[in-house]
């Protein structure tokens, strides 16, 4: 089955850290750019960042709101995408989705994992 | 940075009616890079339309996209109960960041 499954969401205190995972199956993971998108409670979608391919040296890009605090990585041998969240702030509270990017579209989304930043 | 503005914020219609949702870009964008998503409560977004007018796999032909330049439209020809949801447009520029519109909520009247 073609799917993405996120995990790792949790309650964390402001200033804390968390690592999210996204396990891919049913497609050749290493062939696709992968992205993270988040959605704060009751709000719209916000692009977080992306990671390119091995041939692109796994380069990354980030939204200004998370640059310097969040890091995206991937392990193609494990078909897994990661999002390391550091220096978390209350405004980072959101459902985090991973998405498979393919030629200017997010054609596959995970079910999301909830990150709550609160004291 | 491009801004996408969707209108209306909320659209109230009855099943069987036609829905027209708008997405306006702050500057001209390539239609190749414009996509639409549907999101139902508690679910992940789902790709509906890419390249402004191409339907994604498995999407009903009641959904159609059109537009160019700064003005894009998502049309649902005959609303079914399952179509009531939030719809987002998205622009993929030549480089990130990738921008979403704020969303249009399509609700049952």
Q: Rounded distance, CA A60 to CA A52, Å?
A: 6
The pLDDT, as a whole number, for residue B93 is 83
CA distances (Å), origin B55, targets A57, B13, B37, B60, B80: 32, 23, 11, 8, 17
Measure in Å the smallest separation between the Cα of A103 and chain B Cα atoms.
8
Q: Best interface-test mutation with B: which of A5, A46, A105 has the largest number of B CBs within 10 A?
A: A105
pLDDT tens digits along B10-37: 999 999 999 999 999 999 999 999 999 9
- Helix or strand or coil: residue B72? strand
Query: How large is the C-alpha radius of gyration of chain B?
Result: 13
Q: Rounded distance, CA A7 to CA A20, Å?
A: 6
pLDDT tens digits along A25-81: 999 999 999 999 999 999 999 999 999 999 999 999 999 999 999 999 999 999 999
Q: Rounded distance, CA B38 to CA A2, Å?
A: 19
Q: Give A-chain residues touching B98 at CB under 8 angstroms.
A: 35, 47, 50
Using 50, 70 and 90 to split pLDDT, how confident is the model at B1?
A: confident
Q: Give A-chain residues touching B51 at CB under 8 angstroms.
A: 104-105
Position A109 pLDDT exceeds 90: yes
B47:A63 CB<8 A = no
pLDDT tens digits along B63-105: 999 999 999 999 999 999 999 999 999 999 888 889 999 999 9
Report the DSSP beta bridge partners of residue B101. none
Phi, psi values for residue A41, rounded to 5°: -55, 125
Q: In this structure, are residues A35 and A20 in contact, taking their beta carbons and an 8 Å threshold? A: no
- Helix or strand or coil: residue A91? helix
């Amino acid at each position: 089955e073609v799917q993405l499954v996120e995990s790792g969401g949790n309650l964390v205190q402001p200033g804390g850290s968390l690592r999210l995972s996204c396990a891919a199956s049913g497609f050749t993971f290493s062939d696709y750019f992968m992205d993270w998108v988040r959605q704060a409670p009751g709000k719209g979608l916000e692009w977080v960042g992306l990671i390119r391919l091995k041939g692109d040296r796994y380069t990354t890009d980030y939204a200004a709101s998370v640059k310097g605090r969040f890091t995206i990585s991937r392990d193609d041998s494990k078909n897994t995408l990661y999002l390391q969240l550091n220096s978390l702030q209350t405004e980072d509270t959101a459902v985090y989705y991973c998405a498979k990017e393919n030629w200017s579209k997010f054609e596959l989304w995970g079910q999301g994992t909830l990150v709550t930043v609160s004291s | 940075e491009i801004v996408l503005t969707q209108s209306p914020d909320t659209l109230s219609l009855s099943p069987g009616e036609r829905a027209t949702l708008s997405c306006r870009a702050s500057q001209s964008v390539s239609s190749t890079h414009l996509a639409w998503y549907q999101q139902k409560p508690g679910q992940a977004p789902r790709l509906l339309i890419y390249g402004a007018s191409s339907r994604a796999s498995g999407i009903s032909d009641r959904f159609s996209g059109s537009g160019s330049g700064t003005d894009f439209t998502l049309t649902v020809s005959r609303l079914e109960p399952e179509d009531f949801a939030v719809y987002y447009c998205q622009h993929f520029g030549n480089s990130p960041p990738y921008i979403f519109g704020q969303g249009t909520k399509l609700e049952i009247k």
